[in-house]
Amino acid sequence: MWEALIKIGLLIFVIMTAVAYFVLLERKVAAWVQDRKGPNRVGLPLTKIRLFGMGQPLADGVKMVLKEEYIPGHVDKALYVLAPISILASALATFAVIPFGSIWPTADGYIDFVVAPGFDAGLIYVFALSGIAVYGVILGGWASNNKYSFLGGLRSSAQLIAYEIPLSLGILGIVLTAGSLRLDTVIAQQAETGMWNAFVQPLGFVVFLVAATAEAARLPFDLPEAEQELIGGFHTEYSGMKLVMYASAEFLHMITAAFLIVILFLGGWHFWGITGSGTEITWVTALLRVLVLFAKICLVVFGFMMVRWTLPRFRFDQLMALAWKVMLPLGMVNLVLVAAMVEYFNNAVAEKPLMVFLVMTGLMLVSIVVTAVLAPLGSRNERSPVGDLPT
């Protein structure tokens, strides 16, 4: 029990600190993309040491804690308070089954560097908790008793439910190749073959990456908030720590998506010639595995941030058409291709990795071209047939 409690305490501390500093990193990336400096003044408290603005998250946290906890009179108070708590709790609970690095060796045996070790349905657990985010969003919109918040909640729930389907199809392809629902087994399978799933299932990787970005409500899929249309979206009526819960949950979903992308498709802690492929490891190897995993996580998170500050937002009809007309068919095609590969070429990944990569990449390109021809998503900017509206 004490081991589990210590793991939970460390995990919450590290994850919430990472969220605070990823917010700072995103502001830095936004400033770099827009050719400005970004936050660079706040440093250590009571000193003149600025540390490139590293004290900014602390200042923001203190400000939000000290803000008045105001609840509008027209809201449903019970659901209004429950909504941000539920979405933050589910986002944090997801990390219980995520392996951080690998098995940590001790004199008495091994300590699994994961809160809930040996959980055989890890992928189902992660997918189920990610679905709870829908309830937190739609409850916030409903409980706010505000038409803008309600519309934001409806649009968000439609988006999240639509993209859960291609997300699950991408996960099913991984389950077929790994033969397990355990995340550590997926990493071990990639380490043993020496071939990451992004190369074995490039089409599934593309589908999962797009769907995970939409599930995290990151640009160009941030329609739940779309400020110029819905003020602040489903959390228009929220402020103070309740707004912090929503913002933290958004970043936690992005970090969770980065973990899943790395673990399922980019080899997890595996890196050729550095981290090994077996479970009998030394302290040095265990530390290298943790460092490799977090380096990959940071690169994926940086990619999410670059996409946010580079691409424009989709229209809502384009967003839904992409889910149902493009991602869903591509996800089904990938699942069928992977099932055929596992059935007829079970050992090809280990014996002929280059052939598998070339065949699956070629099939991915053919599938994308066919889908683009059958379901074009081009903008329709022609004049309305009823003429111009009066000014």
What average pLDDT does the segment 183-192 reach? 88
Instruction: Please check the confidence at residue 388 and state whether its pLDDT lies above 60.
Output: no
How far is 94 from 300, CA to CA, in rounded Å? 18
**What does the block give as tokens for 305?**
């941030």
Nearest CA-CA partner of 285 in 191, 199, 365, 205: 191
Instruction: Determine what percent of the chain is predicted with pLDDT higher than 90.
Output: 22
Least confident segment among 42-51, 94-103, 285-294: 42-51
Question: Which amino acid is present at 126?
Answer: V
**Tokens 């706010």 label which residue?**
144
Confidence of residue 48 (pLDDT cuts 50, 70, 90): confident
Phi and psi at residue 107, to the nearest 5°:
-65, -30
The answer for residues whose C-beta is within 8 angstroms of residue 301's C-beta and 6 or more apart is 22, 25, 254, 255, 258
Please state which of the ranges 46-60, 216-230, 354-368 shows the lowest mean pLDDT. 216-230
pLDDT tens for 10-39 read 888 988 888 888 989 999 999 999 999 888
DSSP annotation string for 141-186: HHHTT-HHHHHHHHHHHHHHHHHHHHHHHHHHHHHHHH-SS-HHHH
Which one, of 217, 72, 70, 54, lies nearest residue 145 by Cα?
Answer: 72
Alpha helices in the chain (DSSP H): 2-33, 56-66, 77-93, 122-143, 147-178, 183-193, 197-200, 202-215, 227-230, 240-265, 283-308, 316-321, 328-344, 348-351, 353-374
Peptide bond into 220 cis (omega under 30): yes
Weakest mean pLDDT among 57-66, 116-125, 218-227, 290-299: 218-227
Q: How confident is the model at residue 389 (pLDDT cuts 50, 70, 90)?
A: very low
Q: Tens digit of pLDDT for each residue in 138-171? A: 898 899 888 888 888 888 888 888 999 999 999 9
Mean pLDDT of 34-51: 80
| Average pLDDT over every residue of 300-322 | 88
Q: How many CB atoms lie within 10 A of CB 146?
A: 21
Query: Which two three-digit tokens encode residue 362?
Result: 């070629």
pLDDT at 258: 93
In the structure, what pLDDT confidence band is assigned to residue 65 with cuts at 50, 70 and 90? confident
Least confident of 47-56, 127-136, 207-216: 47-56
The mean per-residue pLDDT over the stretch 87-106 comes to 81
Q: What are the pLDDT digits (tens) for 212-249?
A: 998 888 878 877 776 566 567 788 888 888 888 988 88
Confidence of residue 300 (pLDDT cuts 50, 70, 90): very high
Cβ neighbours for 12, distance < 8 A, ≥ 6 positions apart: 92
| CA 189 to centroid of chain Cα atoms | 22
Q: On the CB side of 262, how many CA atoms lie within 13 Å of its CA?
A: 28
Residue-wise pLDDT tens digits, 268-279: 888 887 777 665
Query: How many residues are given for the chain?
Result: 391
